[in-house]
Amino acid sequence: MSIAEVELFHPKLEARPRIYAYAIHDPEHEGQLKIGQTTQNVKTRVAQQLKTAAIENYTVVLDEPADRVDGTVITDFEVRARLKKKGFTNPKLEWMRCGVDDILTALEEIRSGKAISGTHHATFPMRAEQQDAVEQTFAYFRSIWDDDPDKAPEFLWNAKMRFGKTFTTYQLAKRMGARRVLVVTFKPAVEDAWDTDLRTHVDFEGWQYLSRKTGGDPSSVDPDMPLVFFGSFQDLLGRDKAGGFKAKHLWLTELAWDLVVFDEYHFGAWRDAARELFDGEDDSTRKKELAIEFSDAQETFTTELEENDADEDAFVPIRANAYLYLSGTPFKALAGGSFIEEQIFNWTYTDEQQAKVAFAAEHPGEPNPYAALPEMRLLTYQVPDELIAIASQGEFDEFDLNAFFEATGSGVDAEFVHKQDVQKWLDIIRGSYLPTQVDALKAGTRPPFPYSDVRLLPYLQHSLWMLPRTSSCAAMANLLAEPQNVFWHDYTVVNVSASGVGVGLDALPPVRDAIGSGFDTKTITLTVGKLTTGVTVPQWSSILMLRNLESPESYFQAAFRVQSPWTIRNPEGDDPNEEQILKPICFVFDFAPTRALRQIGDYGRGLNPEARNPEKAVEELIGFLPVLAYDGSNMTQVDAGGILDIAMSGTSATLLARKWESAVLVNVDNGTLKKIMGSEAAMAAVMKIEGFRALGDKVFETVVNKSEAVSKTKAEKGDDVTPSEKKELTAEENEYKSKRKQIQEKLIKFATRIPAFMYLTDFRENTLYDVITKIEPELFQSVTGLTVADFDLLVGLGVFNASHMNQAVFAFRRYEDASLSYTGIESHDGLRHYGLYDTVVAVDG
């Protein structure tokens, strides 16, 4: 045999061993799964097995690698043996009576070599942003503990829905070595996520979970194993009839918690958002809705804080080593300066969409963990003048949706006040209103009206319509059902604000029943505020904003309802790892253009209130949330500058003056005053501000000590305070409150000098960074009395609220530019900088 005839090189086999399972859909195999192993393609192998028996009613439910890290292979025999050991039955040779999660758990037990309680089978790691959140938070906690082991640090995660807050919070707790974790929420409906993540992921094997739903005695848990206790704010921190802490929850105050988590907290924003979202519901419904969705206890809690001039830690009788706050729209916390930059982790809609694009570019062909998250589109429409005329309001005659959709009556008797005009509006949005058709012919373009454009119609198969009142919802349901509106009769209309429909999550079943799978149905859900927070309806792909919502929290909480992923796992029934995305984009339709663009501007800036370039922040947002505006003849895309011009519209010299005289520009809470007291440089800087020498440098110590002493005495004495003690406490309260007010007034007076300085410079400032970094230092000191370094130091300590000052600086610059442009003078070339920080820091440069 010649050497040429000898096969020296064999091609390398690329097969990878797999464990698979499939179900056959017939009575004989109900509740059973066939478990096998193969080195072939699983689809091919299963088809081979079932082909001879001509079985077609099957689904492949599991397809997992069978190899271990040491190179050995897990066999299907081992998997079945493990399942039998766990108590599952084996009715036929390779069949087991079990579920997919049970097989996954058995596989993980075989790989790890240890038994797992429950179904802890998930092994997915943290995504990069989740890892960043954990490390950034833990590093901050450590830095605080290193300075003062007895201090409880606070941290905020500004993370939109789908970030994975529950899983990531547990990872933080694990990183901290926490043994006792308390989760307090304003929305009890989120418990399923907190419970499921703890019970299914292998990283939390052995962790204990208790809640009101699960029951169980906290005193009987294993002290050596981590405990998570979940509770609603209204239950855990509510008061009994006597105003005391509920007896059944006294154990909360006796236990030292390693981590306390406030979920969906929003620092009071929910209270305002709830009022706005549910304004319009009838009184009884609204009260129930508020109690269930947002909790009356929160309002009581906030009110008591304000009335007692107490801080949160003193009021909440729970001892903790650290606090974590979770929110998707924490605009008030960010703008109010409750947290400094080092205390905040951001994961916004923009971050999410950027990550989706980046992952696709860096990992072509791999499953994209962000792929199913739809990209949003905002389309705004200017309605014809004849409709604007009947419902305009405000200085700029903005279209008033609440007035336009005003209705009287209830139920079947409800009717719009401007019924004929609402009928015209219905014709407009389906492209059948004659005047707009004529305008389109003249313009030579056909605008994309929601229910007429074939590109939009698939995304309007299931939509959410927000209206101003319950009577408006009933009137809309009645009008859509009238004979002339035959187009709308294809849609099942669900009025969740109708009388008799449940509150909270109880309002969801009628919607899900009407939608079904979502493929063969068409629905319109009418609501005032129900189901616009904390719920997931995958099939909703568009929302029509038909009411005035002024706060960006409530606007975008509602808008993000339609950004929930809609996917099909295992679409062909032969690959459980395949995912088909049914909703790559989603839509927000708004018929009050000025208000809508103002919301986008506020939201873009609110995502990062200390951004050095507000226009850049909005530009990044609309890169993934394009804004199209129909002006009555053309549909055009609006850029960041145009959005901000509208967002700032109505700014006058009087309003600007008020911005610079506002108490929100400065912080005089105990924490900030302690920072001043702890820094010789800061104390020296404050003493340079006019009026502080007269107060004296001991004023800060007096305010802090007296306020803390009064709070402590009140907490210890409770209702046992004698009349004489109460009188003495009142006198002390009046004294420190008066001195705190004087400190505040002096700082505000200093703040009013900043616009005077800006007016005198040739520089166009956009943010506080500009004021700090880019201007002449001599002029700054001459006008304000502080050096640039002094001011920078006080801003860094939070004495001056950078977020609110940024807004005031930016508003001043836009107003000044508009004034110059009106007189024919343009801003200086090359001087477009974007921050209060820019303005002040370049002065030293």
Answer for the pair 730, 801: CB distance below 8 angstroms, yes or no: no
Per cent of the chain over pLDDT 70 is 71
Q: Is residue 359 part of a domain?
A: no
Residue range 431-474, pLDDT digits in tens: 876 555 555 545 456 678 899 888 899 999 999 999 999 999 99
Residues 326 and 387 in one domain: no
pLDDT score at 311: 42
Q: What is the 3-state secondary structure (H, E, C) of 444-490?
A: CCCCCCCCCCCCCHHHHCEEEEECCCHHHHHHHHHHHCCHHHHHHHH
**Shared-domain flag, residues 575 and 624:** yes
**Same domain assignment for residues 775 and 804:** yes
**Number of helices and strands (H, E) in the chain?**
36, 26
674, 622 contact by CB (below 8 A): no
DSSP E strands, 128-258: 154-159, 180-185, 208-211, 227-232
Tokens 């429950």 -> residue: 118
Q: Does position 148 have pLDDT exceeding 90, yes or no?
A: no
Residue 61 lies in a domain: yes
Q: Do residues 455 and 534 share a domain?
A: yes
Same domain, 640 and 673: no
Residues 420 and 489 placed together within one structural domain of the fold: yes
Taking the C-alpha atoms of residue 376 and residue 563, their distance in angstroms, rounded to an integer, is 7
* Residue 354 included in any domain: no
Report the pLDDT value the prediction gives residue 305, as an integer from 0 to 100.
38
Instruction: For residue 710, name the pLDDT band (cuts at 50, 70, 90).
Output: confident
Tell me what the pLDDT averaged over the chain comes to.
77
Does the pLDDT at position 70 exceed 70? no
Selection from 608, 129, 138 nearest residue 339 by Cα = 608
Using alpha carbons, select from 758, 354, 812 the residue that is nearest to residue 614.
812
- Is 295 within a domain? yes
Residues 209-257 have pLDDT tens digits of 888 877 777 777 888 889 999 887 766 665 655 555 566 667 777 778 9
The pLDDT of residue 485 is 95
Cα–Cα distance, 91 to 599 (Å, whole number)? 61
**Dist. CA 355–CA 130, nearest whole Å:** 12
More confident residue, 683 or 137: 137
Cβ atoms within 10 Å of 578's Cβ, excluding its own: 16
Of residues 176, 169, 225, 220, the one with CA closest to residue 197: 169
Give the number of domains in the chain. 4
- In the listed set 329, 347, 365, which residue is the last one of a domain according to the structure? 347
Neighbours of 438 (CB within 10 A): 10
Q: What is the DSSP string of 520-587?
A: S--EEEEESSTTSSS---TT--EEEE-S---SHHHHHHHHGGGGS--EEESTTSS-TT-EEES-SEEE
Same domain, 633 and 704: no
Residue 458 lies in a domain: yes
Q: Note whether 610 and 693 are same-domain residues.
A: no
* Pick from 51-60, 70-79, 807-816: least confident: 807-816
Shared-domain flag, residues 211 and 90: no
Question: Does residue 367 form part of some domain?
Answer: no
Q: Are residues 337 and 483 in the same domain?
A: no
- Confirm whether 10 is domain-assigned: no
Do the domain assignments include residue 805? yes
Q: Given this model, what pLDDT does residue 15 score? A: 62
pLDDT digits (tens, 9 = 90+) for 758-814: 655 555 555 555 655 555 677 777 777 788 888 888 888 888 876 666 666 665 555
- Return the percentage of the chain with pLDDT > 90, whole number: 25
Do 84 and 220 reside in the same domain of the chain?
no
* 469 and 519 part of one domain: yes
Domain holding 77, by residue range, is 18-112
**Of 61-75, 130-144, 636-650, 826-840, which range is least confident?**
826-840
Confirm if 257 and 182 have CB atoms less than 8 A apart: yes
558 vs 723, which has greater pLDDT? 558
Is a pLDDT exceeding 60 seen at residue 13? no
Q: Is a pLDDT exceeding 60 seen at residue 12? A: no
* CATH code where residue 171 lies: 3.40.50.300
Last residue of a domain, one of 112, 138, 163: 112
CB atoms inside a 10 Å sphere around CB 46: 24
Residue 300 tokens, joined: 């009581």
**Contact criterion met (CB below 8 Å) for 271 and 294:** yes
Domain boundary among 47, 77, 112: 112
